């Protein structure tokens, strides 16, 4: 927009006449909401306008960002993945248990990632080749991952491996401010996810399947590969998120991450992705996670509100976004 | 229905094709596993005028899931799904318990009745809210009910102020632990709701209308079915059922913990419905199947305990059950079985009569 080469319009005319393409409107709405919440917090609470508050959002929600990226892929094809919360719990447990058994830390991480990816692959195969609804197949995944977690250990196992703790607390400083490695990994996942969706054949096929699966099939796109692929990606992201979560919480516990799949789905919806598939962006999901994180930060800064307000406000936001989306898409059709 | 010439074979085949065969067989196998592990599993004894025993425990424990699953069955039959039932159960328990604690006479019969009525009214409202989102605003059921699933536990905690509320009311605790006619009250309530639903849907046109809405909402609306009202009603009914289940769960411990009450009961209920042979694609339902499905889940929990496996591993078995049931219901797997059976193509009459056969299957059978 800065390169105003046409001399006839003044810059002001162009700014005034500028309307963002409609497909970006949901993401911009989320961004506006985030900025609005941040300004309200900055005005009301002392120390809220510190940039470190924003950076902490990335640090505290790194695992959720990664989950939301995987979930975005699945939801864009019109599916859903309920298993991510349980896979996170399973990942923390596998990491904790293998380290306890004396595995090298990097082998343990590889085991975590391989397990999540394999689970995703199995669910994808069930969904595509046996025509099982995503909801039910991933429900089986939810039970399976949670059950495996209990099978490994019913009790909580703490992680004390030096490689893990080093990675967990390693920071990158920008002047006075710092970011942890986990947050940088999460942002890298967002960047890769955005690139894959926008610039690769796989990404275009994801949107095509979400738009209309039979059309995509008739166009000769690789529907089977892509459909299984998104669940593999989601499984991988869930286990990577679980790894980041185990850095964050430094223990493996079968009660970790109960209901985290709801947070991931909520973040994706608040980020403007259409749940029927075919429309949405990974960046929106990132913003959705930030909005959820901002609610938590606001409530903890306030101090008088109880933590259950997080859920109520999340539900209200979810409602607002879903209803607005519904009316917007009704007008278009 | 045309009678096949070889009645004995087709009778057996028809029995095998009946949609309840597999759930019932699974239940029987599970019970046999129990007997093999502990020969005295079926023993039921009389004590203080009540029946005691493993089977009685199973039917008692199946009550909450059965109640939720009944509402879920009707919702699923309209091609919907209700994820909010766990949260609604928590809200119902929270409302009832805070009403009882706040009442002037905490132990009185009227207190319990009033509190439960009030809680159930709230639940019907919440269910109607889901119905409103689905039928009037046209939001996908899974999303519409997700909203209340996320917010509901927060609301429930707001009602109890984040505390675990304990109540002392004999009438209320009888909901879960009492006995009438030697049988547990909880199961009788669930069975009563089940019978009532069966009469309402199968003795009137309501069941057919629900199935019509599930098969094609637009076509049924054009045919003069008030699909909007029907969708609204089934969600309100699901809310009511979840509310009763919440009361039973809370009465079992005489307390309400908004965080954990009814956690994942929606998944158990969906599992019960799926085990019972109701397809998630909507359009048909089997209340009897749901009853068996709920009993199966309760028996599974008891079996895992009985054969000495930690009860937390229950999830693993549930996962296996979900996958097995889905594979059995999957058209692809079934068509593989169908082709291998030589007699299947001959008896085209029974293809039409078997309600479980999907259109694609019927086509494959005739060709």
- In a domain, residue A53? The reply is no
- For residue B155, which of A281, A314, A8 has the smallest C-alpha distance? A314
- In a domain, residue B78? The reply is yes
Tally the domains of chain A. Answer: 1
Residues B235 and B340 placed together within one structural domain of the fold: no
CA distance B279 to B360: 14
Which of A140, A269, A307 lies at the smallest CB-CB distance from B322? Answer: A140
- In a domain, residue A320? The reply is no
Residues B180 and B202 placed together within one structural domain of the fold: yes
Residues B361 and B312 placed together within one structural domain of the fold: no
Structure tokens at B75: 């919702």
The answer to whether the CB of A120 falls within 8 A of the CB of A231 is yes
B364 has a chain A CB within 8 A of its CB: no
Residues B142 and B212 placed together within one structural domain of the fold: yes
- For residue A275, which of B81, B185, B17 has the smallest C-alpha distance? B81
The answer to whether the CB of B236 falls within 8 A of the CB of B75 is no
- In a domain, residue B324? The reply is no
B154 has a chain A CB within 8 A of its CB: yes
Q: ipTM of this model?
A: 0.83
Please report the pLDDT score of residue A161 as a whole number: 83
Cβ separation of A147 and B146 shorter than 8 Å?
Answer: no
A-chain CB neighbours of B126 within 8 Å are none
Residues B245 and B335 placed together within one structural domain of the fold: no
Sequence-separated (6 or more) residues with CB below 8 Å from residue A51: A177
B361 has a chain A CB within 8 A of its CB: no
Concatenate the DSSP letters of all residues of A239-285 into one string: HHHHHHHHHHH-EE-TTTTTTHHHHHHHHHHHTT--TTSS---HHHH
- In a domain, residue A47? The reply is no
- In a domain, residue B325? The reply is no
CA distance B22 to B203: 26
- In a domain, residue A275? The reply is yes
Residues B314 and B356 placed together within one structural domain of the fold: no
CA distance A95 to A115: 11
Nearest residue on chain A to B81, alpha-carbon basis: A135
B24 has a chain A CB within 8 A of its CB: no
By DSSP bridging, strand B165-166 and strand B179-180 are unpaired
Per-residue pLDDT tens digits of chain B, which is 367 residues long = 444 444 555 666 776 667 778 788 888 888 888 888 878 777 777 777 677 788 888 888 899 999 999 999 999 999 899 999 999 999 999 999 998 888 877 778 888 899 999 999 999 999 999 999 999 888 888 888 989 988 998 899 999 888 888 888 888 888 888 788 778 888 999 999 999 999 998 888 888 888 888 888 888 888 888 888 999 999 999 999 999 999 999 998 888 888 888 888 888 898 899 888 888 888 888 899 999 999 999 998 888 888 877 777 888 888 888 888 888 777 777 777 665 555 444 444 333 333 343 343 333 333 3
Which of A142, A151, A258 lies at the smallest CB-CB distance from B313? Answer: A151
Is the pLDDT reported for residue A53 higher than 90?
A: no
Please state, in angstroms and as integers, the Cα–Cα distance from residue A255 to each residue in A45, A186, A251, A308, B139, following that order. 34, 23, 11, 19, 32
Last residue of a domain, one of B318, B343, B359: B318
- In a domain, residue A82? The reply is yes
Q: Which of residues 90 through 129 in chain A touch B, CB cutoff 8 A?
A: 126, 129
Cβ separation of A322 and B155 shorter than 8 Å?
Answer: no
What angle is formed at CA B212 by the lines to CA B209 and CA B213, rounded to 5 degrees? 90
- In a domain, residue A170? The reply is yes
Residue numbers of the domain that contains A125: 62-282
Sequence-separated (6 or more) residues with CB below 8 Å from residue B105: B111
A-chain CB neighbours of B72 within 8 Å are none
When the pLDDT of each residue in chain A is averaged and rounded to a whole number, the result is 88
CA distance B91 to B126: 10
pLDDT tens per residue across span A188-228: 999 999 999 999 999 999 999 998 888 999 998 999 999 99
Cβ separation of A269 and B143 shorter than 8 Å?
Answer: yes
- In a domain, residue A42? The reply is no
The CATH number of whichever domain residue B40 belongs to comes to: 1.10.3470
pLDDT tens per residue across span A120-159: 999 999 999 888 888 888 988 998 999 999 888 888 888 8
A318 has a chain B CB within 8 A of its CB: yes
B324 has a chain A CB within 8 A of its CB: no
Please report the pLDDT score of residue A2 as a whole number: 54
Please report the pLDDT score of residue A122 as a whole number: 94
- In a domain, residue B253? The reply is yes
CA distance A45 to A302: 7
CB atoms under 10 Å from CB of B156, counted, come to: 29
Concatenate the DSSP letters of all residues of B173-210 into one string: HHHHH-EETTEEHHHHHHHHHHHHHHHHHHSSTHHHHH
B-chain CB neighbours of A317 within 8 Å are none
pTM above 0.80, yes or no: yes
The answer to whether the CB of B92 falls within 8 A of the CB of B120 is yes
Residue numbers of the domain that contains B338: 330-367
**Counting one residue from A and one from B, how many pairs have CB atoms under 8 Å apart?**
127
- In a domain, residue A204? The reply is yes
Rg for chain B, CA atoms, rounded: 22
Structure tokens at A17: 């006449």
Please report the pLDDT score of residue A224 as a whole number: 92
Residues B232 and B361 placed together within one structural domain of the fold: no
Higher pLDDT, B208 or A233: A233
The answer to whether the CB of B73 falls within 8 A of the CB of B272 is no
Residues B203 and B345 placed together within one structural domain of the fold: no
Strands (E), chain B: 44-47, 50-53, 165-166, 179-180, 183-184, 255-256
- In chain B the first and final C-alpha atoms are separated, in Å, by 20
Tally the domains of chain B. Answer: 2
Residues B309 and B339 placed together within one structural domain of the fold: no
Cβ separation of A144 and B315 shorter than 8 Å?
Answer: yes
Phi-psi region of A250 (alpha: psi -120 to 50; beta: other; left: phi over 0): left
The answer to whether the CB of B159 falls within 8 A of the CB of B258 is yes
Is the pLDDT reported for residue A95 higher than 80?
A: yes
Which of A139, A311, A316 lies at the smallest CB-CB distance from B270? Answer: A139
Which of B146, B317, B326 lies at the smallest CB-CB distance from A130? Answer: B326
Cβ separation of B157 and A151 shorter than 8 Å?
Answer: no
CA distance B97 to B95: 6
Cβ separation of B318 and A147 shorter than 8 Å?
Answer: yes
Is the pLDDT reported for residue A248 higher than 80?
A: yes
- In chain A the first and final C-alpha atoms are separated, in Å, by 30
């Amino acid at each position: 927009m800065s390169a105003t080469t046409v001399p006839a319009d003044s810059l002001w005319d162009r700014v005034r006449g500028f309307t963002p393409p409609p497909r970006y409107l949901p993401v911009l709405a989320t961004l506006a909401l985030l900025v609005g919440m941040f300004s309200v917090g900055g005005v009301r609470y002392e120390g809220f306008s510190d940039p470190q508050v924003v950076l902490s959002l990335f640090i505290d929600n790194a695992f959720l960002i990664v989950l939301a990226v995987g979930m975005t892929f699945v939801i864009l094809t019109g599916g859903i993945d309920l298993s991510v919360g349980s896979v996170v719990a399973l990942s923390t447990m596998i990491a904790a248990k293998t380290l306890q058994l004396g595995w090298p830390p990097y082998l343990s991480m590889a085991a975590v990632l391989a397990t999540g990816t394999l689970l995703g692959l199995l669910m994808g195969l069930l969904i595509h080749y046996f025509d099982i609804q995503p909801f039910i197949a991933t429900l089986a995944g939810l039970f399976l991952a949670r059950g495996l977690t209990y099978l490994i250990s019913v009790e909580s196992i703490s992680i004390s491996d030096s490689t893990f703790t080093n990675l967990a607390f390693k920071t990158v400083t920008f002047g006075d401010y710092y970011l942890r490695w986990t947050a940088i990994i999460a942002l890298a996942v967002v960047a890769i996810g955005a690139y894959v969706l926008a610039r690769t054949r796989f990404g275009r096929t994801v949107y095509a399947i979400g738009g209309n699966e039979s059309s995509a099939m008739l166009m000769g796109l690789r529907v089977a590969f892509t459909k299984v692929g998104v669940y593999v990606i989601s499984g991988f992201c869930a286990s990577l998120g679980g790894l980041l979560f185990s850095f964050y919480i430094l223990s493996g516990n079968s009660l970790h991450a109960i209901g985290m799949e709801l947070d991931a789905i909520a973040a994706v919806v608040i980020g403007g992705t259409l749940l029927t598939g075919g429309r949405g962006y990974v960046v929106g999901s990132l913003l959705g996670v930030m909005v959820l994180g901002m609610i938590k930060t606001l409530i903890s800064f306030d101090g008088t509100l109880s933590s259950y307000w997080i859920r109520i406000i999340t539900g209200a936001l979810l409602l607002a976004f879903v209803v607005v989306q519904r009316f917007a898409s009704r007008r278009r059709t | 229905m045309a009678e096949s010439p070889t009645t004995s074979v087709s009778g057996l085949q028809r029995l095998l094709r009946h949609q309840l065969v597999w759930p019932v067989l699974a239940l029987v196998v599970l019970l046999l596993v129990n007997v093999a592990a502990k020969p005295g599993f079926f023993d039921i004894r009389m004590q203080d005028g009540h029946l005691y025993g493993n089977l009685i425990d199973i039917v008692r424990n199946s009550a909450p899931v059965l109640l939720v699953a009944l509402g879920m069955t009707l919702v699923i039959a309209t091609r919907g799904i209700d994820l909010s039932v766990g949260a609604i159960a928590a809200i119902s328990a929270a409302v009832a318990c805070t009403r009882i604690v706040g009442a002037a006479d905490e132990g009185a019969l009227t207190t319990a009745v009033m509190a439960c009525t009030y809680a159930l009214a709230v639940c019907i409202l919440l269910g109607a809210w889901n119905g409103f989102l689905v039928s009037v605003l046209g939001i996908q059921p899974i999303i519409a009910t997700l909203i209340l699933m996320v917010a509901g536990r927060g609301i429930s905690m707001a009602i109890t102020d984040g505390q675990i509320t304990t109540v002392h009311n004999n009438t209320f605790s009888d909901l879960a632990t009492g006995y009438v006619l030697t049988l547990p009250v909880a199961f009788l309530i669930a069975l009563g709701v089940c019978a009532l639903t069966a009469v309402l849907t199968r003795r009137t046109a309501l069941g057919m209308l629900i199935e019509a809405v599930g098969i094609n909402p637009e076509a049924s609306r054009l045919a003069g079915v008030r699909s909007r009202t029907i969708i609204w009603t089934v969600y309100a009914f699901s809310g009511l059922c979840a509310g009763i289940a919440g009361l039973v769960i809370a009465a079992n411990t005489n307390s309400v913990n908004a965080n954990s009450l009814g956690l994942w009961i929606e998944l158990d209920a969906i599992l019960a419905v799926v085990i019972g042979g109701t397809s998630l694609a909507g359009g048909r339902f089997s209340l009897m199947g749901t009853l068996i499905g709920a009993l199966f889940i309760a028996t599974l929990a008891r079996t895992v305990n009985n054969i000495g496996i930690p009860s937390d591993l229950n999830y693993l078995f549930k996962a296996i059950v979900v996958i097995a049931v889905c594979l059995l219901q999957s058209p692809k797997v079934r068509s593989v079985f169908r082709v291998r059976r030589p007699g299947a193509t001959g008896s085209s009459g029974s293809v039409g009569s078997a309600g479980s056969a999907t259109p694609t299957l019927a086509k494959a059978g005739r060709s």
